[in-house]
Amino acid sequence: MNETEFNTLLELYLNGECTPEQKEWMEQWFDRLSEEGSGEDLGVNREMVMRRLKDRIDQRIKRQNFFNLPLVLRVAASVIFIISLGTWAYLHFRGTNTVRNITMSAARGEQLKLLLPDGSGVILNAGSVIRYPESFKENRTIILQEGEACFDVANDPAHPFTVTSAGIQTEVLGTAFNVQAYKALDEVTITVIRGKVAVGTSGQELPMLLTPDEQAVIQRSSGARQKKMVNAAAISGWTTGKLVFRNETLQHVAIMLENIYDVKIIFKDEATKGIRFTANFSSTDSLEKILFAIAKANKLNWTVRNKVVQF
């Protein structure tokens, strides 16, 4: 579509005279403009379109209240405002804030070892995603977006190290701990291997202090939390090729196996997800061996086809 054709279509759209197909095309174009912001590779002169939209909006606002404008013009006004604000913010802050965030992920079936800017080490379990600043100028703040990670934090008393996941903050100075926060699970767990950590939520409760072999279990849905004694070495055993399940639900076990072996596990009966399972395996064990053990221990049948396991 050339610029002349686009101008004609834009005029029809603003007047409410285009066909359903033309309307859908224009709305998709507006979505791209809103998402991409810069307007690059949109195929038409972005500045020209923005000027025409603004002129039309200004004319209509003179005659009626903003909230009585047609939906398309209200959306267009919002797009113009967001893009303008984003451009101003970029120009205003680019000279003073040049730190960018880095996002790293471990693919299914793989683990990923990282060295953070402060020298702290992180191991991401399969299917996990982490985000952190390119450099730690003032604080050391990490976001575990999905999955499980084991941290070995470099000691720096002047700059606490904070891991945030699902609204839960874990703050340390120098220690080693494991965080598990899979989105498919309601529970978030923080387990201390070495040192001491403080685990807090967005609520008003005081942070929960944890020492070695202590674990905080926090429910996403209710905010309920508890502290319990565990074997931290077993919890973090996945970092050394061990796969340890201690009274875990089959739903929990399934999520771990899905990421480690890159499969999909489904349950015909919802009640099966709540069955508890305890066992030790190695990362070198085959998926079939583990599935056989689960089925044998719980008198279940299972099938696997095209990387989909069904119990």
pLDDT confidence of residue 41: 45
pLDDT confidence of residue 284: 86
Q: What is the DSSP letter of 38?
A: S
Q: Note down pLDDT in tens along the chain; length 311 residues.
A: 556 666 677 677 667 777 877 777 776 666 565 555 444 444 555 555 555 555 555 555 444 444 444 555 545 555 544 444 444 444 444 545 566 888 999 988 899 999 998 889 999 999 999 999 888 877 788 999 999 999 999 888 888 899 998 888 898 877 899 999 998 888 999 999 999 999 987 665 678 899 999 999 998 888 888 999 999 988 998 998 888 888 889 999 999 999 889 999 999 988 999 999 999 998 889 999 999 999 998 888 889 888 899 89
> pTM of the prediction?
0.64
Buried b (16+ CB within 10 A) or exposed e, 281-308: beeeeebeebbebbeeeeebeeeeeeee
pLDDT confidence of residue 51: 58
Residue 119 to residue 66: CA distance in whole angstroms: 53
Specify burial of residue 30 (Cβ count, 10 A radius: 0-12, 13-18, 19+).
Answer: middle
pLDDT confidence of residue 47: 56
Phi-psi region of 118 (alpha: psi -120 to 50; beta: other; left: phi over 0): alpha
Of 145, 112, 75, the closest CA to residue 238 belongs to: 112
Determine the 3-state secondary structure of 289 from DSSP.
helix
pLDDT confidence of residue 221: 85
